[in-house]
A = this chain, B = another copy of it.
Amino acid sequence: MDNKMNNLLNDFPILQEIVNDEKLVYLDNAATTQKPRQVLDAIRNYYEHDNANVHRGVHTLAQRATEQFEGVRQKVADFIGANNPQEVVYTKGTTEALNWIAASYGRTHLHAGDEIVVSYMEHHSNLVPWQQLALQTGAKLKYIGLTVDGQLDLKNAQQVITDKTAIVSLCHASNVLGVINPIKQVTRLAHQHGAIMVVDGAQAVPHMPVDVKELDVDFYAFSGHKMLGPTGCGILWGKKELLNEMPPLEFGGEMISNVGLYQTDFKAPPYKFEGGTQNIAGVIGLGAAIDYLNEIGLDKIMKHERRLVEYVLPQLTAIQGIEIYGPKDPRQRTGVLSFNLTGVHPHDLASALDMDGVAVRAGHHCAQPLMKYLGVSATARASFYLYNTQTDADLLIRAVLDAKEFFLNGSF
């Protein structure tokens, strides 16, 4: 770990928290990440010096707030390689972004008989909106299968994606398997068949460099809270032509251009989608999170996570009775590790780890179809981020061994 990575622990006071008499080892980053001082300071500074409602105001604070709020659009665009800040729509998070694509683009473009393609590894947020769209339009929902080591089955994708396909929607990285999907290849395939490509980037943008132009995707969604930013703020990015032709879904506030008694004209994107007062402080916090990530560099963060996985994966695999899901090759995955210990329910395992201060998640991770596909009812999941260390990895391994001893041999 180089120096910058080392010092950053000081930026996250919560990592000093004592939990059940042990120092916190936070390994639930796929659910939400911790926030550095810089982000918390940005939010506080905004509220203490500039807070006002945006766009509508002539006075100085309103102007300051508007500049900061709009400035983040450019930051986001640069961060994901987008052409144009006007393609950046603020949302509540990934879930809202994906729902808006389905409910706005989907409902105005899909017809009975069209097909929507997802995979078995999707988060409910990238699945249930498409199920509903299928039910509403008469379109058909189809699934791309996975290979035995938990990768997207590209051969199967070539069969599932056909000229009937109107939309393909995939996660860029899985929140359970940790696998990184070959978005560029699937996008090419989708476009060859005249379909648009939607990407759920919730588990990718925080952990690796992402360039929507290079990937050539049509829509890309992600959440601020999973990338050091505040809760309640995420991004829907879409190609301008597509955003232009989409009807807005939430009406009122700044999204209008002219309101008559019975009819209303809307603004151009992104504003037409942003009905009502937005999460202004959240957006400004997200801007600070992007600054923070850029300062370190997504390359470095990716390498750091990979090194941790290379370190911990063999040790975890070596524990008898442990099954790990997803690719064995650390280069094909992010810092998300899902596993089970034979004879111990993941809920019990997570409670045991919590007693050692180790925070992991247990359950279906909002991916019930994947659980069925894997033939399990739940898994435990440890997920690493830039502030996790080898010591954290060691403590995870020790806690798993302790728990195994406790539950399987009853000795403590």
Contact = CB atoms under 8 A, between A and B. Distances in A.
A66 to B, nearest CB: 12
A173 to B, nearest CB: 17
A254 B366 CA distance: 7
A28 B134 contact: no
A252 B126 contact: yes
Contacts of A123: 252
A368 B59 CA distance: 21
A77 interface: no
Contacts of A14: 47-49, 51
Contacts of A388: none
Interface stretch (A88-96, A155-163, A318-326): A88-96
B125 A252 contact: yes
A279 to B, nearest CB: 3
B52 A96 contact: no
Contact of A282 (B252, B259, B279, B363): B279
Given A92-B92, A231-B277, A276-B96, A60 B19 contact: yes
Contact of A28 (B47, B57, B281): B57
A239 to B, nearest CB: 23
| Copies of this chain present | 2
B52 A359 contact: yes
B232 A279 contact: yes
A143 B261 contact: yes
Contact of A363 (B40, B48, B56, B61): B56
B60 A359 contact: yes
5 contacts: A26-B61, A31-B53, A61-B359, A231-B281, A256-B368
Interface of A: 13-14, 17, 19-20, 24, 26, 28, 31-32, 34-35, 40, 43-44, 47-49, 51-53, 56-62, 92-96, 98-99, 103, 123-129, 131-132, 134-135, 141, 143, 223, 225, 230-233, 249-254, 256, 258-264, 275-282, 347, 350-351, 353-354, 358-363, 365-366, 368-369
